[in-house]
C-alpha cells in the first residue's frame, strides 16, 4: 500500500514547472512542443499546447481588437507536474530556463474553450473605446 505524505488538496490547480525557451509568436515555424501560458483563470494560469486550430485562429485574428494576445509562448523540453516527473539532462538544450506556475486544471483544451476565454464580445470592445 502506498501512503502519500505531504500536502493533499481538492483544489482545481496544480504546481507545474517547465524547462523551456521563450519564443515569439511570429517566429513559430513548427507547433511541436509549443505551449502557451495565458491568463490567470479561477485558481491558476491557463497552460495549454498550441494546436493547429488555435494557432491558425490566432494568426488570422492577431490584429483584431476582439482577441486578447497577451500570451507567453514557449518551446518546452520537459515538464513536471507536482514534482512527479524525472527529467533527464540529455533531453535538454544547453540554454533553457525553468518557469514555475500554478496551473488551472480546466485550462484551454480546444478552439471553443480558447474563444470562450480570450475573445472579447463586440460589446466589450465598444465599452473599452
Domain ranges (residues) in the chain: 14-83+94-128
Confidence band, pLDDT 50/70/90 cuts, at residue 11: low
CA gap 65, 118 in Å, rounded: 11
Residue 113: per-residue pLDDT = 92
User: What whole-number distance in Å separates Cα of residue 38 and Cα of residue 50?
Assistant: 11
The mean of the pLDDT values for the chain is 79
For residue 23, what pLDDT band results from cuts at 50, 70 and 90? very high
Q: What is the C-alpha radius of gyration for the chain, rounded to an integer number of angstroms?
A: 17
Q: Quick one: pLDDT band at residue 10, thresholds 50, 70, 90?
A: very low
Amino acid at each position: 500500500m502506498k501512503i502519500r505524505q505531504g500536502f493533499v488538496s481538492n483544489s482545481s490547480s496544480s504546481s507545474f514547472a517547465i524547462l523551456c525557451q521563450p519564443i515569439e509568436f511570429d517566429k513559430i515555424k513548427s507547433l511541436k512542443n509549443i505551449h502557451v501560458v495565458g491568463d490567470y483563470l479561477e485558481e491558476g494560469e491557463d497552460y495549454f499546447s498550441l494546436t493547429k486550430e488555435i494557432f491558425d485562429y490566432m494568426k488570422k485574428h492577431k490584429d483584431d481588437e476582439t482577441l486578447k494576445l497577451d500570451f507567453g509562448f514557449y518551446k518546452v523540453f520537459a515538464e513536471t507536474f507536482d514534482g512527479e516527473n524525472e527529467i533527464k539532462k540529455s533531453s535538454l538544450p544547453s540554454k533553457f530556463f525553468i518557469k514555475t506556475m500554478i496551473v488551472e486544471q480546466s485550462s484551454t483544451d480546444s478552439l471553443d474553450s480558447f474563444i470562450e476565454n480570450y475573445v472579447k464580445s463586440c460589446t466589450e470592445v465598444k465599452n473599452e473605446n
